[in-house]
Amino acid sequence: MKLRNVYFASSAIAALATGASATDLEFYFPVAVGGAAADTIQALTEEYMANNADVNIDAIYTGSYADTTTKAITAVRGGNAPQLIISLSTDMFTFIDEDMIVAWDDFVTEEEQKDWIGGFYPAFMANSQTEGKTWGIPFQRSTPVLYWNKEAFAAAGLNPEEGPKNWAEMVEMGKALTVNDDAGNVTQWGVHIPSSGFPSWLWTGIVAGNGGKLADETGTKVTFNSDAAVGALEALVALSATDEVMAPGILDWGGTPKAFFDGQAAMIWTTTGNLTNVRTNAPFDFGVGFLPGLQQNGAPTGGGNFYLLKGASDEELQAAADFVKWVTEPEQAAKWSIATGYVAPRPDVWDTDTMKVYTADFPQALVARDQLEYAVPELSTFEGPKVTQLLNSALESAITGQTEPKAALDGAQAAAEAILKPYY
């Protein structure tokens, strides 16, 4: 599915008058994300073309993040790549390894290097830059946060305005919030931390809250079996095995908001990209808070960056860069954040009147921004899909009780080291 190309009469007249031809751009955009993303991208793209008659932008819906990455790699190898894509920030090392992206540094002035690129939150730039170059521009970025059902809290005798401040409080509250029917069946679990799809993302937040990280900034070394990581996995497994506040087994990522809406879970961990979805569909008042940490605050960043792909002319890449500069300006970024729930990636966005009015009415939106102070980069390495899948498999094995946490992580560490050894 493609966004409709919009050709305005004034644009055609201007082009005829000057004899200039428009620059045609293609832009791969993942639509399998939370919120009204597609409609907002369409509106922003059309607004830009209305004010820039010399540029036509075809934004092509490409499915999930994984689909987008695969299609982009295939297009580059086939010599028909788009100029611009949004893909996961964790794809940076994969794209560098594939030699398929162009650094943004060549398409910005010194002033823009300082004021534009330098204006994004450092937490989001941590997996957008490497070796002194900027490879990704933060756009639909997120962190996971805790959501809680205020009505369920009140029914359990808890203060509905106060979520758990740490892991121990989450477990204690979770016990009060877990409800059984007369037959002993659980009708409402205290907490729901999804573990399907990409369990390593949320688990990174548990590790960060236990004082650890999973990888270094070079993308070549991982520490899956550190004491902090093992302790984090043991705590996650215990939520079901011994604390009995979370349903056993693998919990579905996509079904997490619905489990919340339907009263099956009183607290959930999910992306701030679901914020607008929850605000629109939750049939009860809800709170939003930092991820409860075992020892400290901590959360991973996540979400997508803009990337410039090789194979286009410098003129086309400059036109694509100019569009990205515009769409990340405060007013446009504010529209995007409000429509989707993604974290506005620059402090100046939060200073706009648009965002001030929005957050005055909906202060829950400020939680993810404030949590950035404690954020760590999402796991990102060379051979990223292989390395991440090793970790995901280890987590699933421990969560389902097939392997003890330390043994599962020791195995993932050894296998990851073998993959990454050529990149040391």
Residue carrying the six token digits 């005055």: 360
Looking at residue 104, the DSSP 8-state letter turns out to be G
Segment (H or E) for 86: strand 84-88
* Residue 367 amino acid letter: V
DSSP 245-308: -S-SSPPPSTTHHHHHHTTSEEEEEEEGGGHHHHHHH-SS-EEEEPPPBSSS--EE-EEEEEEE
Q: Is residue 3 part of a domain?
A: no
User: What's the pLDDT score for residue 371?
Assistant: 97
Check whether residue 237 and residue 250 sit in a common domain: yes
User: What's the pLDDT score for residue 213?
Assistant: 95
Which of residues 356, 376, 396 is at a domain's end?
Answer: 376
Number of domains in the chain: 2
CA angle 271, 206, 196 (to 5 degrees): 55
CATH number of the domain enclosing 263: 3.40.190.10
Which of residues 340, 357, 376 is at a domain's end?
Answer: 376
User: What's the pLDDT score for residue 36?
Assistant: 67
Query: Token digits for 313?
Result: 């002319």
Segment (H or E) for 376: strand 375-376
User: What's the pLDDT score for residue 197?
Assistant: 80
Q: Is residue 218 part of a domain?
A: yes
Check whether residue 323 and residue 403 sit in a common domain: no
Q: Is residue 152 part of a domain?
A: yes
Strands 144-149 and 265-271, bridge-based pairing: antiparallel
Check whether residue 191 and residue 135 sit in a common domain: no
Check whether residue 118 and residue 190 sit in a common domain: no
User: What's the pLDDT score for residue 32?
Assistant: 55
Check whether residue 260 and residue 165 sit in a common domain: yes
Contact 141, 342 (CB under 8 A): yes
Q: Is residue 246 part of a domain?
A: yes
Q: Is residue 283 part of a domain?
A: yes
* Residue 106 amino acid letter: D
Q: How far is CA 141 from CA 3, 307, 372, in A?
A: 22, 14, 11
Check whether residue 283 and residue 419 sit in a common domain: yes
Q: Which of 297, 295, 290, 270 is nearest to 374 (CA)?
A: 297
Check whether residue 160 and residue 135 sit in a common domain: no
Contact 300, 376 (CB under 8 A): yes
For 141, the 3-state DSSP assignment is strand
Rounded CA-CA distance 214/39 in Å is 36
Query: Token digits for 416?
Result: 């990851």
Check whether residue 137 and residue 189 sit in a common domain: no
Which of residues 357, 376, 395 is at a domain's end?
Answer: 376
Rounded CA-CA distance 61/38 in Å is 8
Check whether residue 264 and residue 292 sit in a common domain: yes
Cβ-count burial 273-308 (b if 16+ within 10 Å, e if not): bbbbbbeeebeeebbbbbbbbbeebbbbbbbbbbbb
Q: What is the dihedral of CA 153, 235, 366, 268, to 10 degrees?
A: -50
Question: How long, in residues, is the chain?
Answer: 424
Per-residue pLDDT of the chain (424 residues; tens, 9 = 90+): 444 333 333 333 333 333 356 899 999 998 754 446 788 888 999 999 999 999 999 988 888 888 999 999 999 999 999 999 999 999 999 999 999 999 999 999 999 999 999 999 999 999 999 999 999 999 999 999 999 999 999 999 999 999 999 999 999 999 999 999 999 999 999 999 999 987 999 999 999 999 999 999 999 999 999 999 999 999 999 999 999 999 999 999 999 999 999 999 999 999 998 898 999 999 999 999 999 999 999 999 999 999 999 999 999 999 999 999 999 999 999 999 998 889 999 999 999 999 999 999 999 999 999 999 999 999 999 999 999 999 999 999 999 999 999 999 999 999 999 999 999 8
Q: Which of 303, 368, 335 is nearest to 88 (CA)?
A: 303
Check whether residue 197 and residue 327 sit in a common domain: no
Q: Is residue 1 part of a domain?
A: no
For 197, the 3-state DSSP assignment is coil
Q: Is residue 4 part of a domain?
A: no
Check whether residue 168 and residue 279 sit in a common domain: yes
For 209, the 3-state DSSP assignment is coil
Print the domain residue range for 369. 9-142+302-376
Check whether residue 218 and residue 164 sit in a common domain: yes
- Computed from CA positions of residues 309, 314, 320, 322, in that sequence, does the dihedral angle turn out positive or negative? positive
Q: Is residue 169 part of a domain?
A: yes
